[in-house]
Amino acid sequence: MKQYRIDELRPNDYEQIKAYLDERFGSSSVEGVYWVPLDRDLLDQVQAAHVDCQPFYFAVQLEPKVISFELLVRTRKRVRCDCIHYANETQRDYIIGFADSIFEMLKILS
């Protein structure tokens, strides 16, 4: 799995990030996994054409010492479809920027 991963989180970092993600995205049925919707203007042509598959998400997995931002853009409506694939360059840059913005906003030095 391709992902942007930040490790060596301190206990306080974990608690701050968890509180932020819980408040903003809620938790899923899997502990520590959050589904972050991808902005519609970032969809590629295939994803934009697959109206029935929208919205698209990327997953964030938070563990006590690690946070991972998956670079797989997917729908929660289907397991397999042509519109589910790894982020293109623009989407990847958005996901990494999103990750970095959490640390900046929470004033966590990485």
Average pLDDT score over residue span 21-41:
91
Dihedral (C-alpha) 20, 25, 26, 31: value to the nearest 10 degrees?
-80
Residue-wise pLDDT for 2-17, tens only, equals 999 999 999 999 999 9
Q: What percent of the chain has pLDDT over 70?
A: 99
Residue 85 has pLDDT above 70, yes or no: yes
Residue-wise pLDDT for 63-84, tens only, equals 999 999 999 999 989 889 999 9
What is the 3-state secondary structure of 55-79?
CEEEEEEECCCEEEEECEEEECCCC
Average pLDDT score over residue span 86-93:
97
| Domain regions of the chain by residue span | 3-105
Using a cut of 0.95, tell me whether the model's pTM lies above it: no
